[in-house]
Amino acid sequence: MSQTRHVPVMLQRCLDLLAPALEVTSPQQPVVVDCTLGLGGHSEALLAAFPSARLIALDRDKEALRLSGERLAPYGDRATLVHAVYDELPEVLARLGVPKVQGILFDLGVSSMQLDEADRGFAYAQDAPLDMRMDQTTGISAAEVLNTYPPGELVRILRAYGEEKQAKRIVSAIVREREKEPFSNSARLVELIRDSLPQAAKRTGGNPAKRTFQALRIEVNGELSVLERAIPAAVEALAVGGRIAVLSYHSLEDRLVKQVFAAGAANTAPPGLPVVPERYQPRLKLLTRGAELPTEEEVAENRRAAPARLRGAQRIREEER
């Protein structure tokens, strides 16, 4: 499989955001964590751009770890690759004896490899088994979700995770069809969604199956609950002066990141205090005004960058115990 087609999203901007924390000249080696290794594009750039830094990279996908391992081999022991989900960051750092880190990067969503490997079932553009597990060694598949979840639960998932307005209509069709024959492949689901939507709903927003596939993927991989734990844990792992950059690809992810960053950047003092004590001062400083978007040039070169939203923050004080 070619690695040339994998183009890291908003790469230079991510490097620029993290640079002040990783270009330090102190005797201690700065540590940067890539929480979503994927095919290793961001990781390779981090190792190349910051020659004094050590990289710790996490991925739940064993195939991604194997391919990235080959790609990052020239960097030797500067790169430590770990099979883990990104909410396991505190355990990974504890195991490696790393108390605090200087930089953290998240590139959320599905990796290019998972989208491009047809048999993983992430892409609605080609027929494949409905799997969608990022770690194929564990958990339930998208087919099992479709075939076994109660209708009300399926409607909730499509609305909450896919922001699908036609959730009830789609789920009615799914329930009717799964009684005839369980779902196993993506093409049948794509066709069913197309057939069950009103004409008006098909005219906007690209492939009509996109939102349902996103919802199933988030459910199968527990993405939002993992992210809810992972972002606060990552902020906690940052040393003072350390920086975090997060690339999100849909509004649900971006909203979670925004909330954690905003809470960290807020003064938590009770109203009316003449002087704000240290323990109420903000822990974070926001490095981006809202969410930054990719440039038109980048989107023209790499269509997968189109939905990306980038937020950055810097740790400015320790937690008071």
Q: Please report, in range form, the residues annotated as the binding site for S-adenosyl-L-methionine.
A: 40-42, 59, 86, 107, 114
By the 8 A CB rule, do 72 and 46 touch? no
155: CB partners within 8 A, 6+ apart:
167, 168, 171
Q: Which residues line the annotated binding site?
A: 40-42, 59, 86, 107, 114
| Cα torsion through 177, 178, 183, 186, rounded to 10 | 30
By the 8 A CB rule, do 46 and 144 touch? no
End-to-end CA gap in the chain: 49
> Which DSSP string corresponds to 194-235?
HHHS-HHHHSSSS-TTHHHHHHHHHHHHTHHHHHHHHHHHHH
Q: How crowded is residue 283: how many other Cβ atoms within 10 Å of its Cβ?
A: 21
Cα–Cα distance for residue pair 205/186, rounded to 1 Å: 19
Residue 270 carries which DSSP code?
P
Closest CA to 221 of 92, 125, 109, 119: 109
Cα–Cα distance for residue pair 291/247, rounded to 1 Å: 9
